[in-house]
C-alpha cells in the first residue's frame, strides 16, 4: 500500500543474540505474510488485487463475495463514513486521478465524472447482501484505513504466535505492544515537517496505536497549483485548513488513522474542539510550524522541542478542557 514496513522486537534485555535473531526472523515472516495478504486484498495500486477487481465492477450492480479481509475493510470504511457524518469517505478515486495520483487502471464506466456532486455524506459506501456479499456504487480507495487494518491484523497474528513486545510500523502509522528493547514504553517521535529539527515532540506508547495524516511529503504540482493526497470528499479537493499534519493515538491503528484524517480535513480552526469532544489524544502541526495538542495527548507526551526551554516542556500549546 505504498509504505515501507518495519518491525522492532522489545522486552528482550539479556537475550542471547542468536536466539533473538531467530525470533526476529520468525516474527518478520509473520508480519510480511500478513501484510502481503492485506495488500492483495486492499491495494488500489495492484492490477490483480481484490479491491481493483471490485472497483472495476463499481456501479454495475454486480454483487461480490470478497475475502474476509476485504469484506471487513469495506464494512469498516462504511461504518467510518457513517460515524463521521461523511467526513471520512473512501470514494475519491476520480478526484485522485484528476490530480495525477493514479492507481490500477479502471474502466471509464467505473469512474464517475469529477463534475458530479462530491460523495461526502451521501449513500452508503457499500450495499450488503447477507453477511458475506456486497456491492459498491463507486470505486473505493481504502488507503489509510486499509493500512491501519493491515497493522491491526499483523499485530494480532504476532500475538497469536506468542509475541508480546513489539512495534510494527508502516509509513508512519504504527501499533505497539508491551515494552521496547530497554524494557520501557515505546518512544515515538513526531517529525518536524519544516526539517528544522528531527522531532517536535516525543510520546510514550505501551499498548496502542499511533497514526499520522500529513502533507509534508506527498505534495506535487498540477496545473500550476500545489496539491496533496488528503482530499475532502465533500468538495473533491485537497483539504486546506491551515494544517500540515495531524497525529492521533488510540487503541486501534485503523480508527486512529480515520480520526487523524477527519481532524485534518476539519482544519485548524475546528480541530481543538472536535478532538476534545471526541476524547481523542491528538497532536497537530499548523502550516506556520506551531505544535498544539489536546489534554489527553499532553499526558502522553514526554518531551517537546524548544529553543528556550532545556527541558523541552514549554513550547506546546495545551488545549485545556
CB 160, CB 154: distance < 8 Å: no
Q: What is the average per-residue pLDDT within 296-320?
A: 68
State whether 193 and 301 are in the same domain: yes
What rounded mean pLDDT belongs to the chain?
Answer: 88
- Choice between 207 and 94, residue whose per-residue pLDDT is larger: 207
Q: Inter-axis angle of helices 253-266 and 68-83, to 10 degrees? A: 40
177 φ, ψ (degrees, to nearest 5): -135, 140
State whether 216 and 305 are in the same domain: yes
317 has a pLDDT exceeding 60: no
Closest to 209 in 3D by CA, of 244, 171, 257, 272? 257
Q: What confidence score (pLDDT) does residue 122 get?
A: 57
Q: What confidence score (pLDDT) does residue 307 get?
A: 56
Q: What confidence score (pLDDT) does residue 189 get?
A: 95
Q: What confidence score (pLDDT) does residue 313 get?
A: 47
State whether 137 and 197 are in the same domain: no
| 90 domain residue, yes or no | yes
In the chain, pLDDT over 70 holds for what percent of residues? 90
pLDDT digits (tens, 9 = 90+) for 111-150: 555 544 455 445 789 998 888 899 999 999 998 999 999 9
In this prediction, residue 264 has a pLDDT band, given cuts at 50, 70 and 90, of: very high
Considering 114, 141, 168, which residue would you say is the last residue of a domain?
141
247 has a pLDDT exceeding 80: yes
Considering 88, 121, 141, which residue would you say is the last residue of a domain?
141
| 233 domain residue, yes or no | yes
Q: In terms of residue numbers, what domain contains 277?
A: 185-319
State whether 129 and 252 are in the same domain: no
State whether 137 and 215 are in the same domain: no
| 285 domain residue, yes or no | yes
State whether 199 and 293 are in the same domain: yes
Sign of the dihedral through C-alpha 253, 259, 265, 270: negative
State whether 205 and 96 are in the same domain: no
| 158 domain residue, yes or no | no
What's the structural domain count of the chain?
2
State whether 285 and 194 are in the same domain: yes
Q: Inter-axis angle of helices 268-277 and 253-266, to 10 degrees? A: 140
Q: How far apart are the two ends of the chain, measured CA to CA in Å?
A: 37
Q: What is the average per-residue pLDDT within 270-280?
A: 96
Q: What confidence score (pLDDT) does residue 115 get?
A: 44
3-state helix, strand, coil in the chain (%, to 5): 35, 25, 40
| 172 domain residue, yes or no | no
In the chain, pLDDT over 90 holds for what percent of residues? 65
Q: What confidence score (pLDDT) does residue 250 get?
A: 98
169 φ, ψ (degrees, to nearest 5): -125, 140
- CB contact burial 227-241 (16+ within 10 A = b; e otherwise): bbbbbbbbebebbbb
| 12 domain residue, yes or no | no
What stretches of 225-286 adopt beta strand conformation (E)? 225-228, 231-232, 237-238, 243-250, 281-286
State whether 256 and 136 are in the same domain: no
In this prediction, residue 272 has a pLDDT band, given cuts at 50, 70 and 90, of: very high
CATH assignment at residue 91: 1.10.3980
CA–CA gap between residue 157 and residue 239 (Å, rounded): 35
| 40 domain residue, yes or no | no
Q: What confidence score (pLDDT) does residue 277 get?
A: 95
180 φ, ψ (degrees, to nearest 5): -80, 180
Q: What confidence score (pLDDT) does residue 180 get?
A: 94
109 φ, ψ (degrees, to nearest 5): -65, -20
In this prediction, residue 8 has a pLDDT band, given cuts at 50, 70 and 90, of: very high
State whether 198 and 315 are in the same domain: yes
Q: Which helix (H) or strand (E) holds 188?
A: strand 186-191
pLDDT digits (tens, 9 = 90+) for 182-212: 899 999 999 988 788 889 999 999 899 999 9
CATH assignment at residue 305: 3.10.520.10
In this prediction, residue 234 has a pLDDT band, given cuts at 50, 70 and 90, of: confident
State whether 131 and 203 are in the same domain: no
Instruction: Count the Cβ atoms, other than its own, within 10 Å of residue 80.
Output: 22
Considering 110, 141, 172, which residue would you say is the last residue of a domain?
141
pLDDT digits (tens, 9 = 90+) for 17-76: 888 889 999 999 999 999 999 999 999 999 999 999 999 999 999 999 999 999 999 999
State whether 107 and 198 are in the same domain: no
pLDDT digits (tens, 9 = 90+) for 80-89: 999 999 999 9
| 170 domain residue, yes or no | no
Amino acid at each position: 500500500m505504498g509504505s515501507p514496513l518495519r518491525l522492532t522486537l522489545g522486552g528482550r534485555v539479556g537475550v542471547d543474540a542468536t536466539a533473538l535473531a531467530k525470533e526476529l526472523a520468525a516474527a518478520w515472516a509473520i508480519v510480511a505474510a500478513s501484510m502481503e495478504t492485506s495488500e492483495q486484498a486492499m491495494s488500489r495500486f495492484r492490477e490483480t488485487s481484490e479491491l481493483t477487481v471490485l472497483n472495476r465492477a463499481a456501479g454495475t450492480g454486480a454483487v461480490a463475495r470478497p475475502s474476509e479481509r476485504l469484506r471487513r475493510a469495506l464494512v469498516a470504511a462504511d461504518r467510518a463514513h457513517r460515524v463521521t457524518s461523511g467526513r471520512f469517505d473512501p470514494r475519491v478515486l476520480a478526484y485522485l486521478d484528476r490530480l495525477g495520483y493514479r492507481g490500477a487502471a479502471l474502466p471509464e464506466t467505473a469512474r464517475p465524472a469529477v463534475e458530479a456532486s462530491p460523495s461526502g455524506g451521501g449513500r452508503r459506501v457499500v450495499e450488503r447482501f447477507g453477511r458475506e456479499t456486497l456491492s459498491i456504487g463507486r470505486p473505493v480507495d481504502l488507503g489509510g484505513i486499509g493500512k491501519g487494518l493491515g497493522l491491526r491484523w499483523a499485530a494480532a497474528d504476532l500475538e497469536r504466535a506468542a509475541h508480546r513486545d513489539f512495534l510494527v510500523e508502516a509509513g508512519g502509522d504504527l501499533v505497539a505492544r508491551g515494552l521496547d528493547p530497554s524494557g520501557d514504553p515505546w518512544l515515538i517521535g513526531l517529525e518536524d515537517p519544516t526539517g528544522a529539527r528531527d522531532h517536535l515532540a516525543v510520546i510514550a506508547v505501551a499498548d496502542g496505536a499511533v497514526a499520522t495524516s500529513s502533507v509534508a511529503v506527498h505534495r506535487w504540482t498540477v496545473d500550476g497549483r500545489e496539491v496533496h493526497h488528503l482530499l475532502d470528499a465533500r468538495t473533491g479537493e485537497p483539504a486546506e485548513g491551515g494544517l500540515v499534519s495531524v497525529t492521533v493515538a488510540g487503541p486501534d491503528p485503523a480508527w486512529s488513522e480515520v480520526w487523524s484524517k477527519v481532524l485534518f480535513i476539519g482544519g485548524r480552526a475546528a480541530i481543538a474542539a472536535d478532538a476534545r469532544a471526541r476524547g481523542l489524544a491528538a497532536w497537530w502541526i499548523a502550516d506556520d510550524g506551531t505544535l498544539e495538542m489536546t489534554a489527553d495527548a499532553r499526558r502522553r507526551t514526554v518531551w517537546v522541542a524548544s529553543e528556550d526551554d532545556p527541558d523541552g516542556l514549554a513550547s506546546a500549546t495545551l488545549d485545556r478542557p
